[in-house]
């Protein structure tokens, strides 16, 4: 019953960008699965998977093939984008699922090919015998020839829009939409709002580097806090010396900028290097000279 329903479904061609997006999603999933698997061995001795890494990867890709291509005729990336494989060797235009032979050959070309490439590289990388060098030369020549064929296939794919990979072209499997794609109706009000928001965001990105945020913050804090008196009495100086005018803590290596207020050396130095027009947040005085405080500050006064 299911096969008869599947045979009645019409096929819809897939855009080139959708096929390429499906391939990128497949690569991202493989990287995610491998990273999650290797994280299970962080507590083991380093390099425990180095000798059997090609076999472990092949086993993981075999599991992915079993629950994607073999059972659903689609990879994970294709399933996300509403795409699946069609048997293009059939004479009918109706949807035909992949045959078992096509699925097995897909496994051999993808999983087996990558395993063979990685394992042969490990076997012949450290061999110095002449016979092994010849075999490695033939393997490298074959790998280069396959990559050249893949490049030619990709150029043909860009022109015709079918068979994104060389494996699909050899096996005669084609990407089609599972369901007819409906046309999206987007209202002008939504589009205008999106355009307005993007324009405003670009304006803020252009404007923010031109604003001195540090100076603006200090100016706002000076407005919120009461302005200190400008008298030269010793009581006023003793009161101002109990805390840094920037961080509000007990001043470390207290320094002055020419007014009655005291700053930590690192606070005033960092702000002055950031803004050469720095002014005191309490009284608005400019930096005339950065000098260490000559008066002694007693900690007992702070505790009292």
| One-letter-per-residue 3-state SS of 96-135 | CCCCHHHHHHHHHHHHHHHHHHHHHHHHHCCCCCHHHHHH
* Phi, psi (degrees; rounded to nearest 5) at 49: -100, 5
Percent of the chain predicted with pLDDT > 70: 77
Whether 74 shows a pLDDT value over 70: the answer reads yes
**Arithmetic mean of pLDDT, 61-69:** 91
Structural domains of the chain, with CATH? 16-181 (no CATH), 238-297 (3.30.40.10)
Percentage, residues of the chain above pLDDT 90: 21
pLDDT: is 144 or 293 the higher one? 144
8 A C-beta contact, residue 33 and residue 63: no
Query: Dihedral of CA 32/34/36/38: which sign?
Result: negative
Compute the distance between CA of residue 33 and CA of residue 23 in angstroms, rounded to an integer: 16
Looking at the predicted structure, is the pLDDT value of residue 304 above 50? no
pLDDT tens digits along 227-275: 444 444 444 554 556 778 778 788 888 888 878 788 888 888 888 887 7
Task: Look at residue 189 and tell me whether its pLDDT is greater than 60.
Answer: yes
Give bridge partners of residue 286 from the DSSP assignment. 279
Place 24 in a pLDDT band, splitting at 50, 70 and 90: very high
| 218: confidence class by pLDDT, cuts 50, 70, 90 | low
The average pLDDT across 94-119 equals: 88
More confident residue, 7 or 162: 162
Residue 3 has pLDDT above 80, yes or no: no
Give the residue, 96 or 295, on which the prediction is more confident: 96
CA 90 from centre of chain: 41
With 60 as the cut, is the pLDDT of residue 10 above it?
A: no
């Amino acid at each position: 019953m299911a096969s008869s329903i599947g045979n009645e479904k019409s096929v819809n061609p897939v855009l080139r960008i959708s096929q390429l997006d499906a391939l990128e999603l497949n690569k991202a999933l493989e990287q995610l699965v491998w990273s999650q698997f290797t994280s299970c061995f962080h507590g083991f001795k380093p390099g425990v998977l180095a000798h059997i890494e090609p076999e472990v990867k092949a086993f993981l890709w075999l599991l992915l093939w079993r629950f994607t291509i073999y059972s659903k005729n689609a990879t994970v990336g294709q399933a996300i984008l509403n795409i699946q494989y069609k048997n293009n060797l059939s004479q009918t235009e109706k949807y035909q699922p992949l045959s078992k032979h096509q699925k097995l050959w897909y496994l051999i070309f993808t999983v087996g090919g990558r395993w063979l490439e990685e394992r042969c590289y490990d076997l012949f990388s450290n061999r110095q015998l002449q016979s092994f060098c010849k075999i490695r030369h033939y393997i490298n020549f074959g790998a280069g020839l396959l990559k050249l064929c893949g490049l030619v296939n990709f150029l043909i794919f860009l022109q015709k829009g079918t068979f994104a990979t060389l494996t699909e072209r050899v096996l005669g499997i084609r990407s089609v939409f599972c369901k007819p794609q409906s046309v999206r109706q987007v209202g002008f009000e939504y589009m205008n709002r999106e355009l307005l928001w993007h324009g405003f965001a670009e304006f803020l990105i252009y404007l923010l580097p031109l604003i001195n945020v540090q100076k603006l913050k200090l100016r706002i804090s000076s407005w919120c806090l009461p302005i200190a008196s400008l008298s030269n009495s010793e009581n006023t100086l003793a009161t101002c010396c109990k805390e840094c005018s920037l961080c509000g803590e007990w001043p470390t290596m207290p320094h002055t900028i020419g007014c009655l207020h005291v700053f930590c050396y690192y606070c005033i130095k960092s702000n002055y290097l950031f803004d050469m027009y720095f002014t005191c947040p309490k009284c608005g005085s400019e930096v005339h000279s950065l000098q260490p405080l000559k008066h002694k500050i007693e900690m007992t006064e702070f505790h009292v």
